[in-house]
Structure 1
């Protein structure tokens, strides 16, 4: 049971660490999709 709790603690720590990276990646991905949409509309 202690191993499970330790695993949860590590998971939450890594999740909080990568949260900013996830948001940044999601934002860049959405902007990239928006750019593609505008390009396709122009074409």
Structure 2
């Protein structure tokens, strides 16, 4: 469920992948911003 599995239904897969990638990108940006901010301070 956490990964883009080609065996899933295309419709469900696209929604699942977009949601999963958006969460990963959001967390990555959040951690990166926090890390850079901590270095700046």
Q: Distance in 2 between matches of 1:22 and 1:38?
A: 24
Larger Rg: 1
Moved over 2 A (4+): none
Q: Does 1:20 align with 2:23?
A: no
Which structure is higher in RCO with an 8 Å CA cutoff and minimum separation 6? 2
Equivalent pairs counted in the alignment come to 32
